[in-house]
Amino acid sequence: MAWAGHPVELRYAPVRVECACAHCDAAPVEMVAWADPYQRRTRRLQQRLAVSAASMPVMHIAAIHGLSWLTVRRAEGRAIDGAIGEAL
Ligand SMILES: [Zn+2]
């Protein structure tokens, strides 16, 4: 997503840890402040996609950002689920 008119691509490999205990097969992954757990895109981009989806077709947003239709649709769905969760 562009920042101040400049295209920005963030590449980051979160730290993964393999538990060595005999009780589980856990492989926790580092949490980062700028992305939700299990998400591959920043919160900022997820929010931008969801806000854009309120005013234009999902296919249009996907083309603008070079993402799949499903990625945009999921960002929209997560925002709606979050808004509903906050309202309850
Ligand atoms: Zn363990």
pTM of the model: 0.75
pLDDT digits (tens, 9 = 90+) for 55-86: 999 999 999 999 999 999 999 999 988 878 78
Decide: residue 45, CB within 10 A, 0-12 exposed, 13-18 middle, 19+ buried. buried
For residue range 16-35, list pLDDT tens digits in order: 988 888 888 888 899 999 99
Ligand 1 centroid vs 18 CA: distance in angstroms? 8
Give me the amino acid identity at 84.
Answer: I
Distance 42 CA to ligand 1 centre (A): 29
What are φ and ψ of residue 64, in 5° steps? -60, -45
16 CA from centroid of ligand 1 (Å): 14
Measured in Å, residue 17 CA sits from the centre of ligand 1 at 10
What residues are paired with 16 via a beta bridge?
Answer: 29
| Per-residue pLDDT, 1 | 73
